[in-house]
């Protein structure tokens, strides 16, 4: 994580700015004390775009002739599977399931970047860890807000009293 200070400023600032749509959704819902399904859908859709973007980065890293990551089946399949997982996440009916699928996808991508592509610069690995953790926690936070909101709605409904006559 010390290597974050070595990040090129554009990469650092743009990566952190890219987290704004993910972080702002659960933050807004917590401040408003209500779950907004439309915003959750927007967040999940943006998360799918981010997962797809990470896949594209992997493809772009493997293509140049002098890259340590060759355009072989492993590298190109790993870059292609991420947009497919993101697409699958958007097909799920439940936002929580979609968010979990995206968190898994982000985790798979991070694992690949840290263990199978050791040639990435240290600053990039540190940045990927921070962005992945914040993105995953943001998606999960929206799911928690949804569950809490649903439970509070259930708890606040007046109980029907049966009347025996």
Reported as a single tens digit per residue, the pLDDT across 65-115 is 988 888 999 889 989 999 999 999 999 999 999 999 999 999 999 998 888
Asked whether residue 115 is assigned to any structural domain, the reply reads yes
- The total domain count for the chain is 1
Residue 155 has pLDDT above 80, yes or no: no
- What local confidence, expressed as pLDDT, does residue 4 receive? 85
Asked whether residue 93 is assigned to any structural domain, the reply reads yes
Cβ atoms within 10 Å, residue 37: 10
Asked whether residue 41 is assigned to any structural domain, the reply reads yes
CA distance 67 to 119: 9
- Domain of 92 in residue numbering reads as 20-63+77-149
∠ CA(87), CA(92), CA(95), 5° rounding? 105
Higher pLDDT, 57 or 120: 57
As a whole-number percent, the residues of the chain with pLDDT over 90 amount to 68
Asked whether residue 71 is assigned to any structural domain, the reply reads no
DSSP-derived 3-state class of residue 19: coil
Asked whether residue 90 is assigned to any structural domain, the reply reads yes
Cβ atoms within 10 Å, residue 52: 18
Give 96: exposed, middle or buried? Use CB within 10 Å, 0-12, 13-18, 19+: middle
Cβ atoms within 10 Å, residue 110: 19
Asked whether residue 7 is assigned to any structural domain, the reply reads no
Asked whether residue 12 is assigned to any structural domain, the reply reads no
DSSP-derived 3-state class of residue 1: coil
Asked whether residue 108 is assigned to any structural domain, the reply reads yes
DSSP alpha helix (H) spans, 33-94: 37-62, 73-91
pTM over 0.85: yes
């Amino acid at each position: 994580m010390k290597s974050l200070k070595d990040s090129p400023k554009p990469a650092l600032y743009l990566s952190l700015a890219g987290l704004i749509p993910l972080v702002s959704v659960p933050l807004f819902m917590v401040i408003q004390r209500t779950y907004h399904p439309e915003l959750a859908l927007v967040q999940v859709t943006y998360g799918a775009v981010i997962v797809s973007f990470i896949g594209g980065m992997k493809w772009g890293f493997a293509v140049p002739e002098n890259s340590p990551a060759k355009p072989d089946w492993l590298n190109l399949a790993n870059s292609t599977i991420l947009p497919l997982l993101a697409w699958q996440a958007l097909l799920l009916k439940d936002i929580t399931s979609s968010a979990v699928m995206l968190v898994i996808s982000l985790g798979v991508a991070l694992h690949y970047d840290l263990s199978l592509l050791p040639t990435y610069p240290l600053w990039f690995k540190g940045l990927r860890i921070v962005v992945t953790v914040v993105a995953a926690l943001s998606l999960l936070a929206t799911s928690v807000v949804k569950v809490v909101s649903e439970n509070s709605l259930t708890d606040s409904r007046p109980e029907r009293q049966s009347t025996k006559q």
